Amino acid sequence: MRLRQLFAFIAASLVATVNAQFPGMGQLSHAPDIKYMPTLLMETPVQRDLGISPEVAQKAQSILLEVGMAMMPYIGNSAKGSPSPEKQKQMTHALMHALDEMQTRTAALLTPPQRVRLHQLTLQAEGPTALLQPANASAVGLTPPQKTRLSQMITASSTQAMSGMKNFDKSNPMSGFGDVMKRQKEAQAAMNSQLPHILTPSQMRKWNQMQGRKLPNLSMMPGGLGM
């Protein structure tokens, strides 16, 4: 299995799994904190944008491979059937714990300016989902009704993306990747088009500022099928 495809699948599966939980993530009433999306570090344009050395890129890859392989059983379980709410909550928390470990260990490899830029690129890749994270919601000034509308929009879009996991095969983790990637891209585009109808013009300006300079063709699912 190609490493970038594995990282792409982990990112797509994790985001789809987490997003599809709104509002049914047990006691979680907001989006889990994703300050940095470590899988973005596997993208050559991101490495160039951040000015990452080959040595740092190799270390990041080793971390992602180590933690990512440990996540695969949880991703497989989340894609099989309809687990009970308690089981789903346990799997989601296990995935988020793994993501926290990825974030902490890969961020330690970067300089402060590189971490700032990676955070901007993470916001670009996450899209509107990132606005439900408490820090981002506060920075933009979301109201409770706006948070509710965002949550409803993300639930609908991400549930559609999650349906791409139906072809997942534990013996072949890449089996459902094509569907996940396509559906996640469609869901992201739909959410971006709806966002101006939820935020005020000043909030949209703030959100765009938080994302920094746009990196073309940035995706939450780096690597692609052809890489």
Residue 25's pLDDT is: 38
pLDDT digits (tens, 9 = 90+) for 141-156: 999 999 999 888 887 7
Please give the pLDDT value at position 20: 44
Residue spans of the domains in the chain: they are: 3-211
Residues 6+ away with beta carbon under 8 Å from 93:
none
Are 131 and 211 a contacting pair, CB within 8 Å?
no
Q: Which two tokens stand for residue 216?
A: 């073309």
Specify the higher pLDDT residue, 178 or 191.
191
Q: Whole-angstrom Cα distance, residue 197 to residue 180?
A: 26
pTM: 0.75
Q: Residue 218 above 60 pLDDT?
A: yes
How confident is the model at residue 120, as a pLDDT? 96
The mean of the pLDDT values for the chain is: 75
C-beta atoms surrounding 193 within 10 Å = 9
Query: Looking at residue 56, what is its pLDDT?
Result: 95
Is 145:200 a contact under the CB 8 Å cutoff?
no
**What's the whole-number mean pLDDT along residues 7-34?**
49
DSSP string, the chain: --HHHHHHHHHHHHHHHHHTTTT-BTTB-S----S--GGGGGSHHHHHHHT--HHHHHHHHHHHHHHHHHHHHHHHHHHSS---HHHHHHHHHHHHHHHHHHHHHHHTTS-HHHHHHHHHHHHHHHGGGGGGSHHHHHHHT--HHHHHHHHHHHHHHHHHHHGGGGG-BTTBTTTTHHHHHHHHHHHHHHHHHHGGGTS-HHHHHHHHHHH-S--TT--SS-S-TT-
Maximum separation of any 2 CA atoms in the chain, in Å: 49
Instruction: Output 202 or 98, whichever has higher pLDDT.
Output: 202
Out of 72-76, 136-140, 174-178, least confident range? 174-178
Q: What confidence category does residue 221 fall into, taking pLDDT thresholds of 50, 70 and 90?
A: very low
